[in-house]
């Protein structure tokens, strides 16, 4: 009984957990924190967005029209823009 638990049930549980987690966190990954600079507010502001850091696509903006970035460094580092497929 103990042997079959170790040899069959435990690996099956491990596989199910891995597959389930990867699909579950795939949905979670679709929402990320985006950073932008509103000149009227001091400092860098953040918001949640479904855009991603990817090489192509349209750069995402806040409803007020401020461009979104992946880190608070904004456009001071290359490839930091959050984009969405067209």
Q: Considering the complex, state which of residue 46 and residue 63 has its C-beta at the smaller distance from another protein.
A: 46
Neighbour-count burial of 68, counting CB atoms closer than 10 A to its CB (0-12 exposed, 13-18 middle, 19+ buried): buried
Q: Nearer Cβ to another protein, position 58 or 77?
A: 77
What's the closest the beta carbon of residue 55 comes to another protein, in angstroms?
6
In residues, how long is the chain?
Answer: 86
- To the nearest whole angstrom, how small is the minimum distance from the Cβ of residue 86 to another protein? 14
How far apart (Å, rounded) are the C-alpha atoms in residues 63 and 47? Answer: 11
Q: Judging by beta carbons within 10 Å of its beta carbon (0-12, 13-18, 19+), is residue 72 exposed, middle or buried?
A: middle
CB 40 → another protein: shortest distance, Å? 27
Site for another protein, rule CB under 8 A: 6-7, 10-11, 13-15, 17-19, 21-23, 25-26, 28-29, 52-55, 71, 73, 77, 79-80
């Amino acid at each position: 009984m103990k042997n079959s638990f170790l040899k069959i049930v435990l690996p099956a549980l491990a596989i199910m957990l891995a597959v389930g987690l990867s699909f579950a966190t795939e949905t979670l990954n679709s929402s990320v924190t985006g950073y932008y600079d509103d000149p009227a507010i001091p400092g860098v502001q953040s918001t949640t967005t479904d855009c991603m850091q990817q090489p192509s696509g349209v750069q995402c903006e806040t409803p007020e029209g401020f461009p979104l970035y992946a880190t608070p460094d904004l456009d001071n580092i290359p490839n930091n823009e959050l984009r969405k497929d067209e």
